Structure 1
Amino acid sequence: MPLHVLDSLSAIAPPEWDALVPDTQPFLRHAFLSSLEDSGSLGPHSGWQPEHLLHIEDGRLLAALPSYRKWHSYGEYVFDHAWADACERAGITYYPKLLSAVPFSPVSGPRLLVADGQDGVELLKSLPGYLEIEELSSAHINFTDAFTDAALAQQPGWLQRVGCQYHWQNRGYRDFQDFLDVLSSRKRKQMRKEREQVAGQGIEFEWLEGQQLDQAQWDFVYACYANTYAVRRQSPYLTRAFFSLLAERMPQAIRVVLAKQGSRPVAMAFSLVGGDRFYGRYWGCLAEFDRLHFETCFYQGMDYAIANGFQRFDAGAQGEHKLIRGFEPVITHSWHYLRHPGLKSAVQDFLARERVGVLGYAEEAKSALPYRQG
């Protein structure tokens, strides 16, 4: 099956693309991905060149794999730097590679977008030949859902990798106190103390939806976001224009909480919502305040999820500190197709050993959760 290649989402009508995207998944909607492209956050200069693969038949879009040609491994959150380093030492070319993922967002969800399941299978079957023609070393599909997992498991040559994140579950809590009541006494006191420390610094919070922020407030949001990179002497992935474009194209999915000391905003957390899920994405602070990160990024999100009926709160990758605040270990999946047989064999062996370690860690991590036993 010949693959159609799209180097810009602007070449396809939003309704046509979004017809393949579940309503619960904001990160794959045309508005989100096209805002990344049109804002200059993606492109050859960034090492992320859009290369979306499509199955089109009789002029109808049947399946899509949102993808990018990559010249590095930054912004992916499934780490293969060691594989690339090994290739360099062995004289094997690793870049460019093909990546199917949401840029800069380690959020699980559909990757193979289909009108019918079989259409997606045909697209996957064509991928190895496409890699060979384009002289790409490999294909990587990160943070997959169950449907994509099942489809890839049937294709030869693909290696599965597991990871671990931490998500918070809303088990029908009436309010934050209701959540605290299911915790052990010591953890309950700790969370109360953390929240009291923030309130004691005179900080209050304001929640806004995308259409409620003006450009001055978006300037502040971006300044906070960029500062999280500046303190690490890194350049931010996203441009200022991305936030304005997304607010214009997908305002209903945006949630921003502003932390204010008096009338002065000092920090923010930017989130997206879809279906029954609440996704915390970006955080930033322009001054140092004790425990403000935990309040703004975690406790405020829990409060909002409870008040608005969201069932799962995904606050991003990594962070064992989430465990003691009630975020539970969740196994994530990614898939990798490596053309070089020696590299494939070495990675396959590594992934088998890594899998045992990750699954063991996720089980052990449950002992750090704050919930009462029995």
Structure 2
Amino acid sequence: MVSFKEYESFLNLPNSVDQLIGDNYFWNLNLLKELESSKSIGGDTGWIIKSICIFDHEELVGFIPMFIKHHSYGEYVFDWSWAEAHQRLGLSYFPKLFIGIPFSPVNANKFIVKNAKYRDLAIEYIEKFMVNENLSSIHYVFSRYDDELNYLFKARGWANRKTIQYVWDNENYSNFDDFLKILRSEKRKKIKQDRKKVALEKVSFKTITGNDINEDLISFFYKCYSMTYYQHGSPPYINKSFFESYFIKNSERVVIFVAYKDQLPVACSFSLQANNILYGRYWGAVQFIPSLHFELSYYQGIQYCINNKFDRFYAGIQGEHKLSRGFNPEFSDSFHFLKHPQFKKAIDDFVEREADLNELYKKELEQRSSIKS
């Protein structure tokens, strides 16, 4: 007999959840626990934890991280226009149900099940949960492009939204110059110019991971991370205590690239590593240096992947400038289920038109690829 149990905290989940998730994804249970413990989610943040565990008799067979949301911050699949349309008709868009990892626009599986047969049951349960909790909608974001779950969502009438993200693939390059050889001449020149600008400023770099991560480094990183957000007019989403705890307890998953000028740190970026893939997350600087952003956010990560024979480097969503730095466009799928029939039809039509436009846009980006054909 299959049953579902809802949990309002990640801190009191069965111990077997951690083992079920494993180490293959950029996220793990520790990440969710530390986000909650640091009060970056939960409480009055607008991220109300409502995850479910699936049991077959008494055996844990599934886990899905879910949140009841009262805003759309930190999701990176932008639906503010959907909320405004609800409001114009006197309907409430919030609260809604969000299935994903907070503040993480990264393609990954969030339906963690021991057997595919539990997926259909889980989707059916979540749709009923939406109705029972009087939520406007369900949003499963940043699915893996090849996940069989995508076909189940489509079969049940969920709207499929496609957005563009940028990835770098390692074609067994022996070094950075080997990678540059496969680029078009003008793109190769652009990267060399970027790196020359940084070199002229006499900036040096250090890669720090594992036990070399310490409190001073974490404090400097958080200063840089916070400045990036404040420069864009908003406070940082994640509290410092998250990084203080997660970076130390999960240091083997954390990679920090630090830039030094006159022997003092001036900027850094943070990535996660798992299953031979590097996931670029945040960057920031306390001093402006031309092209330093490209070096820390892209080139240092590419170099790290080459040195460690990683397969892929995810540089995140948006940013056409990544195209000229050796990254390629790739679709990222999200799935949405609207309760209101009128809005469900409108959203279905919208995402279909948007997907057609993004298909054309992706083809245009591919034609402008920095890689020689």
**Band of TM-score, shorter chain:** over 0.9
* Residue 53 of structure 1: aligned partner: 52
* Residue 110 of structure 2: aligned partner: 111
Aligned residue identity for 2:339: R
2:329 paired with 1:336? no
In the TM superposition, what is the alpha-carbon distance from 1:18 to its structure 2 partner?
2.6
* Residue 39 of structure 2: aligned partner: 40
2:18 paired with 1:18? yes
1:7-60 CA distances to partner (integer Å, 9 max, x unpaired)? 11111245x113332532031x11111111111110132111111122123332
* Residue 214 of structure 2: aligned partner: 214
Alpha-carbon distance in 1 for matches of 2:64, 2:319: 29
* Residue 275 of structure 2: aligned partner: 275
Instruction: Compute the RMSD of aligned alpha carbons.
Output: 1.3
> Is the 8 Å Cα contact of residues 54 and 123 (structure 1) preserved in structure 2?
no
Structure 2 residues not aligned, in runs of 5+: none
* Residue 151 of structure 1: aligned partner: 152
* Residue 77 of structure 1: aligned partner: 76
1:316-342 CA distances to partner (integer Å, 9 max, x unpaired)? 111110001111010110111110001
Q: Secondary structure at the match of 1:316?
A: strand
1:227-252 CA distances to partner (integer Å, 9 max, x unpaired)? 00111220100000011111233111
1:158-195 CA distances to partner (integer Å, 9 max, x unpaired)? 11111111101111100000011111222212211110
* Residue 253 of structure 2: aligned partner: 253
* Residue 189 of structure 1: aligned partner: 189
> Is the 8 Å Cα contact of residues 110 and 147 (structure 1) preserved in structure 2?
no
Aligned residue identity for 2:8: D
Instruction: State the number of aligned residues.
Output: 370
Alpha-carbon distance in 2 for matches of 1:189, 1:288: 22
- TM-score between the two structures when normalised by the length of structure 2: 0.96
Alpha-carbon distance in 2 for matches of 1:309, 1:298: 16
Structure 1 residues not aligned, in runs of 5+: none
2:11 paired with 1:7? no
Query: Which moves more between the two structures, 66-75 or 362-371?
Result: 362-371
> Is the 8 Å Cα contact of residues 26 and 279 (structure 2) preserved in structure 1?
no
For 1:329-368, list aligned pairs within 5 A. 329-368=329-368
> Is the 8 Å Cα contact of residues 131 and 138 (structure 1) preserved in structure 2?
yes
For 1:266-345, list aligned pairs within 5 A. 266-345=266-345
Aligned residue identity for 2:152: A
Q: Secondary structure at the match of 2:53?
A: strand
* Residue 91 of structure 2: aligned partner: 92
> Is the 8 Å Cα contact of residues 164 and 330 (structure 1) preserved in structure 2?
yes
Alpha-carbon distance in 2 for matches of 1:220, 1:61: 40
2:195 paired with 1:205? no
Alpha-carbon distance in 1 for matches of 2:250, 2:148: 26
- TM-score between the two structures when normalised by the length of structure 1: 0.96
Alpha-carbon distance in 2 for matches of 1:310, 1:190: 24
Alpha-carbon distance in 2 for matches of 1:301, 1:100: 28
Q: Secondary structure at the match of 2:172?
A: coil
Q: Secondary structure at the match of 2:174?
A: coil
> Is the 8 Å Cα contact of residues 17 and 30 (structure 1) preserved in structure 2?
yes
Q: Secondary structure at the match of 1:183?
A: coil
Query: Which moves more between the two structures, 240-249 or 99-108?
Result: 240-249
Alpha-carbon distance in 2 for matches of 1:294, 1:197: 11
